[in-house]
Amino acid sequence: MSKKPVDGLELKKLVEAGLAWLRVNHQMVNALNVFPVPDGDTGTNMLLTMQAAYNEIANTGHQSAGQMAAAVAQGALMGARGNSGVILSQILRGFARGLHGVEVIDAASMARAFAEARDTAYKGVVRPVEGTILTVAKDVAIAAEAALSETDRLSEMLRIIVAAADESVQRTPEFLPVLKQAGVVDSGGKGLFFILEGMLRLIDGLPLDSPLVSVQPLSAMNLENAMGEVEEGQDWEVVIDFRPNNGFELQTFYTKLEEMGTSIQVGEGEGMYRMHIHTPLENRYSPIDYIMGIGTITKVAMENLLAQMDEIGSQANATQIEMANVEPGQIAVVTVSPGMGLSRIFASLGVTAIVAGGQTMNPSTKDILDAFENLPTDKIIILPNNKNIVLAANQAKDVTVKQVKVVPSRNVPQGLAAMLHLNPDGDLEKIAERMAQSIDGVVAGEITVAVRTVEIDGVSVQEGQAIALMNGKLAVSAETVESAVMQLLEKANAADYELIALFYGEDMRHQEANRIADLIREKYPNQEIEVQEGGQPHYHFIISIE
């Protein structure tokens, strides 16, 4: 790259390098979660978006840099997940616009492409917020423009750009006090930095398969999601809790594990480490033997992944939800649901199509598009039910010829309230407007367990405590789930409302949910109390107060 301009094939290599470096470091990005909740997924969303972008060009041989960039942008558009993934797709779209008609990239066209990437990303967000991935994209564009006066070599320009991205990420807490309170930098900006740094590492001949290892809290380890990443030949899941001997070195530990398997996660809490790995059959005891030599093992769990996946598949096939039929000319509602119980409730309210998703499992633009593209009507309403899915829903709306309205429901209670206003034979514009008006009258609560110690907005949280979010903001920390629920209801002035509905998650027993509901009935005898299975992961309760 330092000796010749970049054509389409060279650009393809750079994109692949950016993807590779993000892949090995995406868990570090996930850990940069502002709230201490067990659902940091920015890194995963950006990774899946970049993977979709690369899949679009994996088997192409465009010599033209402009054509290759356009294909990357198209793949990212359809594969975008979560707000971070959608903004990344806009950055790649703008980059491609800047290279339209360009056969080979020189320094001037590179600077122009980054400037267009910045402009497109900012235009794609209704209310741009500084201290995010947008700020990093802006600082990258400024650095690229300034670099033109220093060098005409693309390798040197990229070096300047990567340094600017790093500095920009470190400054993000200056723009967003919530980042400073949480002691983190912006996760989306960090993800963009890793993509650019991966490209530079390719040029410098540095490895792209050895992550910059960081340890996440034990309670933040998302081993459920790891089930969705079973690779061929990696048939066994091994989880080991251990206390390391003196001299334990994390990078060496991680490198040794890479020789044994994949899907490696390492968590730490109070001197105890937890290691998760997928291995082939013949290596399933290797992690145990290795860790016995570097520490004291306290617990081992081993599972046959293929057998588990078969069982999960059988359960999924056995569980069918009957959706509402829709006729040509009627309104069809597509909703995003994080749990089977909630999906059943949405179906009973008249939803035509359900997209599985929520925290840690944001659906892509294509997932949402596929849910309604083949329906026999051109009148569609989308309920994202998650603030991190609204942008992807709007992007799906923009790439279809159907009449689509996105009602910006930011949580499940808002989505359920909106469904009460559905009239399939009504006017699309008016029904969508009524739904949008209804969502602001709902107070939404979420109960989970903190994955780290932090203080945000005056709420002090210790790792392992129960916490409550009210309308997306940290509101309560407590020693028990029960206490968190009761304190949340008090803060929400639940006595002024008519209905308190509890949707319990997959980790909450029905009997325990009913016990807590009985306590609520004692304190709020004039309110209607409902308890229903939600089935959502991570959150003991989703609470709707109306």
CATH code of residue 359: 3.40.50.510
Report the C-alpha gap between 18 and 50 in whole angstroms: 8
CA distance 392 to 364: 7
CA distances from 374 to 21, 271, 333, 471, 473 (A): 37, 53, 13, 34, 37
Amino acid letter for position 110? M
Where are the alpha helices (H) located in 439-480, listed in sequence order? none
Residue 211 lies in a domain: no
Instruction: Determine the distance from the C-alpha atom of residue 477 to the mean position of all C-alpha atoms in its chain, rounded to a whole number.
Output: 24
- When pLDDT is cut at 50, 70 and 90, the band that residue 221 belongs to is low
At 185 the pLDDT is 93
CB 414 within 8 A of CB 384: no
Whether the CB-CB separation of 349 and 337 falls below 8 Å is answered with no
Out of 4-18, 65-79, 258-272, pick the least confident: 258-272
Please indicate, yes or no, if residue 59 is contained in any of the structural domains.
yes
Q: Mean pLDDT over residues 412-417, rounded?
A: 96
42 and 167 in a single domain? The answer is: yes
pLDDT band at 225 (very low <50, low <70, confident <90, very high): very low
Alpha helices by DSSP H, listed for 355-453, are 365-373, 390-398, 412-419, 428-438
First-to-last alpha carbon distance for the chain, in angstroms, is: 60
Residue found under tokens 């979420």: 446
Most confident of 32-46, 167-181, 234-248: 167-181
pLDDT at position 309 is 46
> What's the 3-state SS for 106-164?
CHHHHHHHHHHHHHHHHHCCCCCCCCCHHHHHHHHHHHHHHHCCCCCCHHHHHHHHHHH
Residues 96 and 157 in one domain: yes
pLDDT at residue 319 greater than cutoff 70: no
Q: Which two tokens stand for residue 27?
A: 């868990």
- Tell me: do 146 and 42 sit in the same domain: yes
CATH number of the domain that residue 235 is part of: 3.30.70.260
Rounded Cα distance, 18 and 88, in Å: 13
195 and 72 both lie in a single domain: yes
| Distance separating alpha carbons of residues 138 and 75, to the nearest angstrom | 23
Q: Which whole number is the average pLDDT over 149-172?
A: 94
Whether residues 356 and 405 fall in one domain: yes
> Cβ–Cβ contacts within 10 Å for residue 473, how many?
12
Report the pLDDT value the prediction gives residue 317, as an integer from 0 to 100: 43
- Count other Cβ atoms within 10 Å, centred on residue 318: 7
pLDDT of residue 216: 55
Q: Which domain holds residue 370?
A: 319-441
**Sheet containing 331-337: order of strands:** 353-356, 331-337, 379-383, 403-406
In this structure, how many other beta carbons lie within 10 angstroms of the beta carbon of residue 123? 11
Residue 18, pLDDT score: 95
Cβ 62 vs Cβ 8: under 8 Å: yes
The closest of 73, 184, 94, 185 to 132, measured between CA atoms, is 185
What CATH number has the domain bearing residue 537? 3.30.1180.10
Half-sphere exposure of 472 (CA within 13 A, CB side): 12
Closest CA to 471 of 502, 447, 443, 499: 443
Same domain, residue pair 18 and 128: yes
* Half-sphere exposure for 125 (CA within 13 Å, toward CB): 23
Please say which residue of 271, 295, 312 terminates a domain.
Answer: 312
Same domain, 292 and 435: no
Which of 182, 39, 32 has the alpha carbon at shortest distance from 539? 39
In a shared domain, residues 108 and 184: yes
- Answer yes or no: are the C-beta atoms of 446 and 541 closer than 8 Å: yes
Residue 181 located in a structural domain: yes
User: Minimal CA–CA distance to 266: which of 281, 280, 248?
Assistant: 248
User: Do residues 346 and 431 both lie within one domain?
Assistant: yes
Q: How far apart are CA 167 and CA 390, in angstroms?
A: 30
How far is the C-alpha of 83 from the C-alpha of 131, rounded, in Å? 15
Q: What is the pLDDT of residues 131-155, one digit of tens each?
A: 999 999 999 999 999 999 999 899 9
Q: Per residue in 487-507, is it b (16+ CB within 10 Å) or e — as a string?
A: bbbeebebeebeebbbbbbbe
- Residue 314 above 50 pLDDT? no
Same domain for 341 and 473?
A: no
d(C-alpha 511, C-alpha 228), whole Å: 30
Q: Beta 379-383 vs 331-337: how paired, if at all? A: parallel
Q: To the nearest whole number, what is the mean pLDDT of the chain?
A: 88
Which residue, 168, 184, 204, sits at the end of a domain? 204
Query: Angle of helix 187-204 relative to helix 8-30, nearest 10 degrees?
Result: 140
